[in-house]
A and B are shown apart, each in its own frame.
Chain A
Amino acid sequence: MKVFKASLLILRRRAAQVAVYFFMFTAMFIIIASFTSQQVATDFSAVRPSFTVVNRDQDTPLTDGLLEFLRERGTERVFPDEKKALQDATFFHATEYILIIPEGFDQSVWSGSPLSLEAVSVPGTGKSYYLDSLANQYWNFVNVYHKANPSLSRADISEMALEALSMETSVEMVRFSDSRPIGELYESYNRVQSYILIVLTLLCVTSITMSFRRPDLHMRNLCAPITTRQKNLGLFLYCALVGFIVWLLTTAVGFFVSLPTLQGADGRLVALLFLNSFLYTLTALSIAMLLNYFISNPNTQNAIVNFLGLALSFLGGAFVPLEFLSEGLRAVSRFTPVYWYSEAVSDICRLTVLNKESLAPVWRSFAMELAFAIAILCLALAVGKSKNKAEKSFGSIRTEIEM
């Protein structure tokens, strides 16, 4: 208990250093968050493509329905039905999609053998395909309803088609958001969280072990009537507490900053992400246990912590998505715990249904993280044992010669 209390006291003295990392990280993230949320807004308006409908037939309730349908999803640009004007419009990207309704189209639909529609789309934009498919869907519904019930008027059919389409699209909308059940912002936070988790855990743990491992202090502790077990228990408790607090703080920051984008997200997915970062904290703790044997002063501490934090997080795709890394780097990355952490983040954020199959890759990543934690911990214990043996002679203690 004494060791535990002293550890907390020591940490308090070093809190400034830890706090700097934490606040810089948090501030950075909040800035990034405000950026991305703006981008989301502009992206949304850009999704409304511009279109032009040139009607060479007469205006009927059916064509009116089509226009109404397209106007809901795009911005109409009106151009005269002249070859030159239409060419210019597409050339200057004034419109992205031109639909030409040929003469007698309405009649051809009514008689059951519709003429084909003519469409001009601006090359290179996917949006015109979207509009094209919308227009086709509309006419398909019209066809189907007319065939099913020829006694219905054009206005009725148009109305029914629009209703059916709105239902269909609303279903489609849900599915669309379903394919990204967790917002991009929170996902990227979770990726970067691996960095701050490892940096803070390493800092907090090694700051203490660094002191206790100082040969002269170690010796003084050995003089006292406390068992190695009592001492290690104290250090262990400290590590557990620090790991938990670091996890809690970083998780809370990410959650609350991303909260606006998490409206309607599945709570179970968020819980899975919590669990994921918790498991990674365990891995970080065991890395800290291992590193403490190699960190003996604040300089090596800073160097190692920063290098490891950046390197691991880079390999794990915290800063650059894994897809952009070279094959070689990705292969290396697989042998780091952070890879599995990132994998789990990606998988969880794309879960649309929670069942045995969809969760299998997530569980696998979790298992890998845990396996890494255990393996590194065992390694740390082994290193500790051999180091202790070497220390039996206190090779590092040289009495200073002073006169």
Chain B
Amino acid sequence: MIHVENLVKRYGKLVALDHFNLDVKDGEIFGLLGPNGSGKTTAINCILSLLTYDKGEITLFGKPMSPTNYESKRKIGVVPQNVAVFNELTVYENIDYFCSLYVPDKAKRKPLVEEAIAFAGLSDYRKFLPKKLSGGLLRRLNIACGIAHKPDLIFLDEPTVAVDPQSRNNILEGIKALNASGTTVVYTSHYMEEVEQLCSRIMIMDKGRAIATGTKEELTALIHTGEKLTVEADGLPLSVLEQIRNLPDVLRADYAEGHLKADCKGYGHPVIDVLDLLRQSGVHFGQVYSEPPTLNDVFLEITGKQLRD
């Protein structure tokens, strides 16, 4: 559905996209995950032909994308990162206007607009002007304006920034429902939990480059870090910590504020070994928990920095 090859985009000297490649298949929810300034928005804007680019090929629906490819544009919905609605138009009028650009027939449009209002949970606000809406409601209006015409392909650029957790869950559920009805979704975010929860495939971006692509499992399998173990332990002697670090399945271990943290290797399960060691050394321990690796770990390991700095 989307095919991007060797895309290069420069803003003056800054290389915002550096030989960027992307393939999105029909019917998936594709996540673009990356820290601020990694080039997610730039990538989307290039794909939509809103920006000119220096090099590369972009194909949408099997056809080269261009600013005048109205046939493709008709099948696309865009939810931009910044709320882009008319301040002078009410909620209903805004959705109706943007929908009318795709669906000129008024009779056909009306149910679509109503559906979008229901989807975004804006039924009580249809006559409100945007300045009367809270930040979260504005975001929802922004989404409704982008999806009312039932596109086959939707780009959502950080749609949940500044939305309260409950609305966020509603939005994510809504996106899943859209996808279930056959819509392909490209979703950008720097919240990895969101991407993990929502997306069938994920691309991790940094500095304009795709550093890894795959399902969540595929991505976490890419790295050396496996399970992450935390043990509540009082007065852990340095010698014991050293012994733990030397266990074959432990990648690294640290002790701070009464908590022992140990990252395990790939598919190793050193929990028993660690706890045995502690007991033998006479260290008392409390709660023990273990987490699977996250996309943050993937990002951390590949780039050497946190996803959210």
Q: Which of B37, B51, B84 contacts A220 (CB 8 A)?
A: B84
Q: Is B70 an interface residue (CB 8 A)?
A: yes
Q: A222-B50, A225-B73, A399-B81 are in contact. Are A14 and B88 (CB under 8 A)?
A: yes
Segment touching B, from A5-13, A92-100, A152-160, A244-252: A5-13
Are A13's CB and B70's CB within 8 A?
Answer: no
Please give, as numbers and ranges, the residues of chain B lying within 8 Å of A219 by CB-CB distance. 45, 50, 80, 84
Closest to B41 in A: A399
Choose from A6, A394, A400 the contact partner of B86 (Cβ within 8 Å). Answer: A6
Residues of chain B within 8 A (CB-CB) of A401 are: 36-37
Pairwise interchain contact B102-A400, C-beta atoms closer than 8 A = no
Whether B82 contacts A400 by the Cβ 8 Å rule is yes
Contacting residues, chain A, for B51 (C-beta < 8 A): 392-394
Q: Is B102 touching A217 in the complex (CB atoms < 8 A)?
A: no
Q: Known contacts A14-B88, A216-B82, A219-B84; decide if A224 and B98 are in contact (CB<8 Å).
A: yes
A21 → chain B, closest Cβ, in Å?
A: 18
Whether B84 lies near A217 (C-beta < 8 A) is: yes
* B78 and A223 contact, CB distance less than 8 A: yes
- A210 to nearest B CB, angstroms? 10
| A227 at the binding interface (Cβ < 8 Å) | yes
Partner of A225, one of B41, B70, B93, B162: B70
Task: Report yes or no: A2 in contact with B104, Cβ–Cβ below 8 A.
Answer: yes
Task: Decide yes or no whether A352 CB sits under 8 A from chain B.
Answer: no
A9→B82 contact, CB < 8 A: no
Contact B161 A223 (CB under 8 A): no
Partner of B73, one of A6, A224, A392, A403: A224
Our pick among A2, A13, A393, A394 for the contact of B97 (Cβ within 8 Å) is A2
Q: Are B70 and A220 closer than 8 Å at their CB atoms?
A: no
Most buried by A among B45, B81, B86: B86
Of B50, B76, B158, most buried by chain A (CB within 10 Å of CB) is B50
In the assembled complex, A296 has its CB within 8 A of some CB on chain B? no
B100 CB within 8 Å of chain A:
yes
Contact A221 B101, CB 8 Å, known A393-B51, A402-B162: yes
Contact of B50 among A9, A14, A217, A223 (CB under 8 A): A223
**B308 with A403: CB separation less than 8 A:** yes
| 70-122 of chain B: CB within 8 A of chain A | 70-71, 73-74, 76, 78, 80-89, 93, 97-98, 100-102, 104
Which residues in window 31-52 of B have CB below 8 A to A? 36-37, 41, 45, 48, 50-52
* Cβ–Cβ < 8 Å partners of B82 in chain A: 216, 397, 399-400
**Set of chain B residues within 8 Å of A90, measured between Cβ atoms:** none
- Most B C-beta atoms less than 10 A away, residue of A216, A223, A399: A223
Instruction: Select which of B41, B52, B78, B100 is within 8 A of A393 by beta carbon.
Output: B52
Contacts A6-B97, A399-B41 known; A225 to B102 CB distance under 8 Å?
Answer: yes
Is A26 an interface residue when CB atoms closer than 8 A count as contact? Answer: no
In the complex, chain B residues 16-40 whose Cβ is within 8 Å of any chain A Cβ: 36-37
A306 interfacial contact with B, CB 8 Å: no
Contact A10 B89, beta carbon cutoff 8 Å: yes
A220-244 interface (Cβ within 8 A of B): 220-227
- CB pair B93 A9 closer than 8 Å: yes
Given contacts A2-B97, A6-B89, A394-B50, 12 further A-B contacts (CB under 8 A): A1-B104, A5-B100, A6-B93, A211-B87, A220-B98, A224-B73, A225-B71, A226-B70, A399-B41, A402-B161, A402-B162, A403-B190
Across the A-B interface, the 3 shortest Cβ-Cβ residue pairs:
A224-B101, A216-B84, A225-B70
30 example contacts (A-B, Cβ-Cβ < 8 A) are as follows A2-B97, A2-B100, A2-B101, A6-B86, A6-B89, A6-B97, A9-B89, A9-B93, A9-B97, A13-B129, A216-B82, A216-B84, A217-B86, A219-B45, A219-B50, A220-B98, A221-B101, A223-B48, A223-B50, A223-B73, A223-B78, A224-B102, A225-B74, A392-B52, A393-B11, A393-B51, A394-B45, A402-B158, A402-B162, A403-B308
